[in-house]
Amino acid sequence: MASTQVVVVRHGETEWNLEGRLQGHLDSPLTEKGVAQARALADRLEGQAFDVLYSSDLGRAYHTAEIIGNKIGVDVTTDKRLRERHLGIFQGRTWREIEETSPDEYALYMGSGPDYVIPEGESARQRFDRTIACLEDVACSHPGATVLVVAHGGVLNGLFRHTLGIPLEASRRFKLWNAGINTFYYEDGAWTLGTWGDVGHLPLGDTLDDS
C-alpha cells in the first residue's frame, strides 16, 4: 500500500475556547481571531496540493474547513466520527460550574481513567476508538494521496498518542494549538509522525491550547 500523507489541523479559536466553556458536541462560533487563524492557515496550505478535504461536521471545524477549502479549491466532505468527545452533562459549562453543580461526577472525571463515561456522553477511549477508525478509513480510501483533515484537539490528542504509543492513561505533555499543522503518514497499517504543532503561519502569541 502506498504511503498516504494525512495533514490534520485543529479548528480556529472559538468564543467558548476564550470563556473556558466545554464544547464537546455543542458549538460556539469562531472568534474574529479564529477566523483570522483559519485564513492564515488557508494561505499557508494553498501551496500544497491536496486530493481531498475531510472535516468534522461540528460548526467550528466545518467553518474552518470551508475557509481552507475555498482557498485551496477542494470541496469539504464531513464525517461525524471526527467530532470531539461527547461531554454529556458537562457540555456548555466551565470547569468551575461543573465542580460546583456536579461535584461527584467532577471527581470521577478527574480521578478516573480513559474508560470513565460522562453521563449522557462518552469516554475518552470511546472517542479514541471512533476517531482512529475514521482516520484509518480515510487513509485507506486514498492510498498515496495527500489528505487534509480539519478536526478537534481531542482527535489530534488521540492520533498523536496512537502514533507514538503513548497510553491514554498518561498525562498529556504536548500542546494542541488552534490552527496548527500536524502531518502524519499512513502505510501498511502503521502511522508515522512527520511534523507536529507547526504554527509558523500565525502571529507570535496568537495560538490557544485549552484542551
- Rounded to an integer, what distance in angstroms lies between the CA atom of residue 119 and that of residue 185? 35
Residue type, 106: Y
Enter the pTM of the model.
Answer: 0.95
Q: List the grid coordinates of 201.
A: 503561519
Comparing CA positions, the residue from 68, 82, 75 lying closest to residue 136 is 82
pLDDT for residue 2: 86
Q: Give the 3-state DSSP-derived string for the chain, with helices as H, strands as E and coil as C.
A: CCCEEEEEEECCCEHHHHHCECCCCCCCCECHHHHHHHHHHHHHHCCCCCCEEEECCCHHHHHHHHHHHHHHCCCEEECHHHCCCCCHHHCCCEHHHHHHHCHHHHHHHHHCCCCCCCCCCCCHHHHHHHHHHHHHHHHHHCCCCEEEEEECHHHHHHHHHHHHCCCCCCCCCCCCCCCCEEEEEEECCEEEEEEEEECCCCCCCCCCCCC
Decide if 65 contacts 155 (C-beta within 8 A): no
Please give the positions annotated as active site. 11, 84
State which residues of the chain have pLDDT below 50.
Answer: 211
Could you give the maximum distance between any two Cα atoms of the chain, in Å? 52
pLDDT for residue 127: 98
Domains present along the chain, CATH in parentheses: 4-87+123-198 (3.40.50.1240)
pLDDT for residue 206: 60
- Rounded to an integer, what distance in angstroms lies between the CA atom of residue 7 and that of residue 158? 14
